[in-house]
Amino acid sequence: MGQQQLLLIILGLILVAVALAVGISLFRSSAIDQKRNMMINDCIDLAAIAQQYYLKPISYGGGGQSFTNWEIPSSMKSTAVGSYKITNIKTNEIIIMATGTEVVTGSDSVKVQVTIPAPPEDYQIQIIN
């Protein structure tokens, strides 16, 4: 009878360990998805700001049909979710790369790229990692 009880205790411990591992894995993947979605929302906000700059005349502090001198607002360059930087800027297009604070695997972080073409009617968001 003692061996059966010992085996049941060991089996119970193994089941609890597996359940904990699955729970931690689900929590981690949920956290990664949540950070990615928050970064996408920030990229959408940055795209809207860049589009406003493009459409605003130079006399009002805009770009006058150009993205050339646009910069990411200092309050949005680095947030709790991630950091944002302009990787390519042209007169008629701007590309912003967002790198998240959440690490997916090894040293790979969550990454999202937004491309804003001119005329700024739409933008493309690409999930890199």
Q: Which residues contact 58 (CB under 8 A, 6 or more apart)?
A: 64
5-39 pLDDT, tens digit per residue, is: 999 999 999 999 999 999 998 988 888 888 889 99
Q: What is the pLDDT of residue 109?
A: 78
Q: Is residue 111 predicted with pLDDT exceeding 70?
A: yes
Q: Does residue 102 register a pLDDT over 90? A: no
Quickly count: other Cβ atoms within 10 Å of residue 96's Cβ. Answer: 24
Burial class (CB in 10 A: 0-12, 13-18, 19+), 119: exposed
User: Rounded distance, CA 15 to CA 8, Å?
Assistant: 10
- 100: closest CA among 42, 25, 49? 42
User: Would you state the pLDDT for residue 1?
Assistant: 62
pLDDT at 103 over 80: no
